[in-house]
């Protein structure tokens, strides 16, 4: 990573880690969970990401729609009979559309982490980016479990606000038929402290542990398909539109 790119990435995380508190996350839930910002089809949402370059990502400096098709095609090669998995590869980042509607990137992109309990050491830039977060010194929020209980389940945990949680809520609000494994991939693919570093296991229940291998399988394609070899998007669109029509058809509320 060159110096300018590193500075951009660190700056995004420094603001995120200073401002993303439990109260902030609850505020964002109230602003976005009613899906009243726009109405559009899923393919239009995917293509709208051409307007966005992710300020938290050191691996790509080209628009997100290319990464969407790269990820989907990587999954399609290894899981040719699993349409919903391929679709998740295509749509996993489209919650970043919030950035096109005025949400700052530090509340949209990047790795996620629980709020309301201690910030674990595996969070990116943990040692030098949380000093200004008031939850760090809160007598409850700074404890291992914080406001949660052991093995309460990730469904009860408040995650930092970003595109994962937003898209998960859009899928639920619009009653899309992607199975639970796919919804976990959408909701937790940026939760690297959990799926890649093994932190926060004390908050997980049996369901979370069953779903973890699916999230890890997805992460292989999310992480390792970011190449400069750009896909022929127009040629691929009809196939992926057929998957959209099956699992999240029509005009969705966002």
Task: Please indicate if the annotation marks 37 as binding a ligand.
Answer: no
pLDDT in the model for residue 225: 58
Nearest-angstrom CA–CA distance, 31 and 36: 9
Task: Please indicate if the annotation marks 93 as binding a ligand.
Answer: yes
Task: Please indicate if the annotation marks 195 as binding a ligand.
Answer: no
pLDDT along the chain (254 residues), means of 10: 81 97 98 97 95 70 80 96 98 96 96 98 97 98 98 98 98 98 98 97 98 97 71 95 98 98
Whose CA is closest to 167, among 61, 52, 59, 89? 89
Model's pTM, two decimal places?
Answer: 0.94
Task: Please indicate if the annotation marks 61 as binding a ligand.
Answer: no
Q: Is residue 172 classed exposed, middle or buried when 0-12, 13-18 and 19+ CB atoms within 10 A define those classes?
A: middle
Task: Please indicate if the annotation marks 92 as binding a ligand.
Answer: yes
pLDDT in the model for residue 199: 97
pLDDT in the model for residue 60: 56
Task: Please indicate if the annotation marks 208 as binding a ligand.
Answer: no
- Backbone φ and ψ for 129, nearest 5 degrees, come out as -135, -5
Nearest-angstrom CA–CA distance, 126 and 111: 12
pLDDT in the model for residue 224: 61
pLDDT 10s digits, 210-248:
999 999 999 999 876 556 678 899 999 999 999 999 999
């Amino acid at each position: 990573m060159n110096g300018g790119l590193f500075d951009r990435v660190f700056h995004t995380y420094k603001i995120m880690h200073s401002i993303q508190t439990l109260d902030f996350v609850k505020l964002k839930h109230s602003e976005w969970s009613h899906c009243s910002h726009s109405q559009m089809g899923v393919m239009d949402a995917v293509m709208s990401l051409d307007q966005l370059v992710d300020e938290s990502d050191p691996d790509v400096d080209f628009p997100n729609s290319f990464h969407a098709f790269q990820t989907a095609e990587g999954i399609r090669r290894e899981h040719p009979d699993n349409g919903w998995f391929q679709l998740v590869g295509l749509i996993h980042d489209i919650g970043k559309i919030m950035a096109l509607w005025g949400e700052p990137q530090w509340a949209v992109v990047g790795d996620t982490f629980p709020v309301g309990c201690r910030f674990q050491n595996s969070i990116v830039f943990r040692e030098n980016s949380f000093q200004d977060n008031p939850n760090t010194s809160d007598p409850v929020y700074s404890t291992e479990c914080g406001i949660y209980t052991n093995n309460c389940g990730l469904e009860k945990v408040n995650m930092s606000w970003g595109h994962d949680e937003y898209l998960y809520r859009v899928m639920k609000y619009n009653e899309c038929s992607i199975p639970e494994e796919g919804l976990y991939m959408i909701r937790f693919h940026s939760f690297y402290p959990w799926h890649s570093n093994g932190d926060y296991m004390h908050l997980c229940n049996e369901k979370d542990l069953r779903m973890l291998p699916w999230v890890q399988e997805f992460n292989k394609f999310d992480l390792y398909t970011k190449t400069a070899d750009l896909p022929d998007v127009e040629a691929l669109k009809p196939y992926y539109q057929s998957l959209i029509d099956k699992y999240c058809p029509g005009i969705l509320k966002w």
